Chain A
Amino acid sequence: MIAKPNQIHEGFAPIVFNCICCDNRLEQRDEYCTECNTPTVLSYTVATRGGAQSFVSVLGASNAGKTVYLGLLLDILSKGDKSFRGFATGAFSMDLQEQVVTALEGRTFPEKTPSEADLWKWLHCQISVAEKKKARNVDLISPDLAGEAIAMEVNQMGTYPVIGHVVKKSNGIMILCDSMRVRDSGSGEDLFAIKLASYIAHMHGLENQRSSWRTRTAGPAVAIVFTKCDGCPEALEDPRQFAANNTSRLYEYCGEKFKRHEFFASSVAGSSGLLADSRGRRMRIPFHIQPCGVLEPLRWIISQDS
């Protein structure tokens, strides 16, 4: 017979701790935080491990590549060299890695992340970073947020409280932008990224800062990552210049609001094609996998904390 989480400690006083995301009081028998839907097991794991945690969140429009990025990031970290290596801390984190790696190896992209917050996969990974004198451990915690949910939350704050809590807690935030949409589809991607950036600025109280650049709050480290660069080599060649040329609003806004921001380009597929069928469905598939620029944004974010 398999015990349920709330049966394991039956007869003992319930263990009480705070939600890692929103600081809500939790009991181990809860499966999810009632406030923000963060899995209790994640908060419990973090509470029992102690030490400093570093939230990194990944935002982006629907279909920007967040799930693939996070899943592959975790897989690459697990294969990394000693100077920068990370391992998922529990089976719940490996779900995402497994889902993404299985799909990519079979030359498909994983299914879209559902909009329901309790169905999101969370990534928790302990990264060891070799520094000059000793190794430093950083806990990377990030949910795989659904693009539609991010859009709703940004338009109407409080729709998905977990997103607000995660963003507020994050020392590092990645904004993923589909480089091909940026290059080929007008201003939509630029404007949505601006919305995300202003949401981040709002959550970190950077919106109305009037102090001088030197004395103002640093805020989170913001990495703008242009994804799917196998189809957009222009972004790969010089991400900052690509941003200045193609997402000028975002470029200016980040320069204005975030003391620490940088532009990156990444890709997962070596080449890809677009499938369509008679029912009008369309889907991109990767022909082979050659990750590029996946680790760099995280390395940069972690270096900002050192």
Chain B
Amino acid sequence: MSLGTLINSAVGIWKCHVPDIAHPAFPDVTDAPPDTRRLIRDRRYCRVLTNQNDFPFDEVSLSFAWKALHHDMSLVPSGEIRRVCDVIVATHSGFDIAPTADQVVAAESHYIDRNCVTNADYARFVQADGYGDPKYWPEQVLPNVLQFVDSTGQPGPKYWSNGNPPPQKLDHPVVGICWHEANAFANWAGKRLLQSDEWQRAGTWPKGHNGPGTELRYPWGNGFDPLKVNIWASGIGDTVPVTSYSAGSTPNGVRQLIGNVWEWVDTLFSPHSDASVSVALTETMAEIRGGAFDTYFQTQASCQFRTGQPLLYRGPNVGFRCCVSVNALLDTAPDYDSMTSSDDSQ
């Protein structure tokens, strides 16, 4: 994909974002070829755009898939982030967590889901027998898949029953899924989990660096505002729909990077320590980012804060969103200006 197309896409998304406050309907795909229509309606348009099927898709299919992608995802251009590197050190009186200089790390450009994956989204994966299809699960995880059941013993997230999400929470982020389940869904959808640095880039790129050597703490600025996020201080104590708290979105329309649910990312969690200290984790952990409705300290729900949970953790406060690398997509991005205007006219 050329640089010109990338910039054009980014600008196009900014244009798209203006009417996005009203959450425009998913593009009408009635006129798409039947196989493409089914994939796009299942929100698996990235399977079309990354050509993960055995046969190539035609131009019409690709055009509809692009429309769907731009409805659901935002472009995050490549660039640098500052990775906070706290180190656990042994001191005279015990142990301490000492800050060290941030690492400057590059993140590739990618499209990121505007919203976390919802219960409704995840239900399509469950109904498509995603739990029963071994191609979505690594071989070493297969024995565990039988234990990934809901409250009634059916395959699905922990807090569902009879294989169905709570009806009043269809538009809430799916929770009660472990890191492997998040990966399996992403795989099914033709996407992937974000790397930790990509996640941070999504929350911090829009306003760039705030000053020499610093990054914005939250997508909207440096000051915490409980009206823009759902964490402990907001007093809700549960998840909310993925489209709420839009005031806390990034300027290109990525919602709830901070708060509501922690987000699994595709990076293992390993606290840094000096040579004399060993850190024992009960299980292998993956990083989670962004804080959740029950995160107590606002300093722990920022774009820079990193923590982790065991890969098999299926808690009520961890969900995920997906992404796709720009360079994994077929170089067939349609004329963005005409697409934006056609969306607006609908």
Interface residues of A (CB under 8 A from B): 79, 81, 104-108, 111, 231, 270-271, 273-279, 281, 283, 285, 287-292
Interface residues of B (CB under 8 A from A): 88, 90, 93-97, 232-233, 235, 269, 271, 273, 276-282, 285, 292, 294-297, 299-300, 305, 307-310, 313, 317
The CA of A106 and the CA of B93, in the complex, are separated in Å by 16
Contact, CB under 8 Å: A274 / B279 = yes
Query: DSSP majority for the A interface?
Result: strand
Contact, CB under 8 Å: A107 / B97 = yes
A108 partner residues in chain B, CB cutoff 8 A:
95-97
With most chain A CB atoms within 10 A of its CB, the pick from B296, B308, B310 is B296
A278 partner residues in chain B, CB cutoff 8 A:
90, 276
A81 partner residues in chain B, CB cutoff 8 A:
235
Contact, CB under 8 Å: A279 / B294 = no
Contact, CB under 8 Å: B292 / A277 = no
Query: Which residue of A is nearest B294, CB measured?
Result: A290
The CA of A212 and the CA of B92, in the complex, are separated in Å by 57
Contact, CB under 8 Å: A279 / B280 = no
Cross-chain pairs A/B with CB under 8 angstroms, 20 sampled: A79-B233, A105-B297, A106-B97, A108-B96, A271-B285, A271-B308, A271-B310, A273-B281, A274-B279, A278-B276, A283-B95, A285-B95, A288-B300, A288-B305, A289-B296, A289-B300, A290-B292, A290-B295, A290-B296, A291-B232
A281 partner residues in chain B, CB cutoff 8 A:
90, 94-95
The CA of A274 and the CA of B297, in the complex, are separated in Å by 22
Contact among B94, B296, B309 for A283, CB-based, below 8 A: B94
Kindly list the 3 A-B residue pairs having the minimum CB-CB distance in the complex, ordered from nearest: A288-B307, A277-B90, A274-B280
A271 partner residues in chain B, CB cutoff 8 A:
285, 307-310, 313
Cβ distance A127 to chain B, nearest Cβ, rounded Å:
18
Q: Evaluate whether A277 and B294 lie within 8 angstroms (CB atoms) in the complex, with A287-B271, A288-B307 already known.
A: no
Contact, CB under 8 Å: A287 / B308 = yes
A105 partner residues in chain B, CB cutoff 8 A:
297, 299-300
Query: Which residue of A is nearest B317, CB measured?
Result: A290
Contact, CB under 8 Å: B307 / A270 = yes
Contact, CB under 8 Å: A276 / B233 = no
The CA of A283 and the CA of B90, in the complex, are separated in Å by 11
A292 partner residues in chain B, CB cutoff 8 A:
294
A111 partner residues in chain B, CB cutoff 8 A:
93-94
The CA of A79 and the CA of B94, in the complex, are separated in Å by 31
Cβ distance A239 to chain B, nearest Cβ, rounded Å:
17
The CA of A275 and the CA of B280, in the complex, are separated in Å by 6
Cβ distance A291 to chain B, nearest Cβ, rounded Å:
6
Contact, CB under 8 Å: A289 / B297 = yes
The CA of A278 and the CA of B235, in the complex, are separated in Å by 43
The CA of A274 and the CA of B278, in the complex, are separated in Å by 8
Cβ distance B13 to chain A, nearest Cβ, rounded Å:
32
